[in-house]
Amino acid sequence: MRIYTRTGDKGKTSIIGGRVDKDDTRVEAYGTVDEVNGFVGQAMTQLDTELFKDVVEDLEKIQHELFDCGGDLANITEKRQLKLQQESIDYLEKRIDEFIKEAPELERFILPGGTKPAASIHIARTVTRRAERLTVKLMKEDPVTPPLALSYLNRLSDYFFALARVINFRLNVKDVEYIRSAKVFRDGKRKDEK
């Protein structure tokens, strides 16, 4: 099997239902989702599969969902068969709630890091936020962009934040609080949340 096609040598790429410039917002959005997937894979290689059996299972599930999300964002056909479903978002919310209960209560913002896998998850979180911003931009340019992709990315970045804290906690490494942070959390939520 040959993996190169030479069809992109002039700055265009194929998407589901057409061809666009490689710097098109749609390509930026689903390409950034692919970046997230790479950092998830990196984090998985850094996790003890016994201590983090539940997390590794989650992350593998998320890798498949990221492919679904990218495919949905790359699809411009009229009769789209979207792969990403509400159940994926519901599952992330359930796991976020579990992680918040497991990790110590948080009062201030924290710095990304602690352990290698937590740092990788924080990178996945920040890249997910970029994918989310690009998806918002794409929705302004193309109103038929699947809104579930945006909701999924929003929830996934929250999941990664909660997960990074749990990884550090299970490995007995404290999160490093941002020293100039005011107390912004109460009862596991940001003060501006209801």
Q: What is the pLDDT of residues 163-190, one digit of tens each?
A: 999 999 999 999 999 999 888 876 556 6
- Identify the helix (H) or strand (E) that includes residue 190: strand 189-190
CA distances from 174 to 22, 25, 32, 118 (A): 42, 39, 30, 11
Check whether 133 has a pLDDT greater than 90.
yes
Contact call for residues 78 and 38 (beta carbons, < 8 A): no
Query: What pLDDT, on the 0 to 100 scale, is given for residue 5?
Result: 73
Residue 59, pLDDT score? 98
Q: What is the pLDDT of residue 91?
A: 98
Q: What are phi and psi of 74, to 5 degrees?
A: -85, 0
> Which residues make Cβ contacts (< 8 Å) with residue 2, sequence separation at least 6?
none
Is the pLDDT assigned to residue 3 strictly greater than 80? Answer: no
Query: Whole-model pTM?
Result: 0.90
pLDDT grade, residue 11 (50/70/90)? confident
Q: Residue 17: name the closest of 5, 4, 29, 26 by CA.
A: 26
Q: Angle CA(116)–CA(50)–CA(176) in degrees, nearest 5?
A: 30
Average pLDDT over residues 105-124: 95
What local confidence, expressed as pLDDT, does residue 189 receive? 60
Q: Which residue has the higher pLDDT, 143 or 41?
A: 41
Query: Closest by alpha carbon to 191, among 106, 126, 123, 114?
Result: 106
Nearest 5°: the CA angle 149, 151, 152 is 65
141 or 144, which is more confident: 141
- 151 burial level (CB within 10 Å; 0-12, 13-18, 19+): middle
Pick from 125, 99, 152: nearest CA to 36: 125
Q: Is the pLDDT of residue 16 over 90?
A: no
Among 18-27, 71-80, 173-182, top mean pLDDT goes to 173-182
Average pLDDT over residues 128-147: 94
Mean of all residue pLDDT scores within the chain: 91
* Closest by Cα among 41, 33, 89 to 66: 33
Give the residue, 186 or 146, on which the prediction is more confident: 146
For 13-35, what is the mean pLDDT?
A: 85
Mean pLDDT of 74-80: 84
Q: How many CB atoms lie within 10 A of CB 41?
A: 14
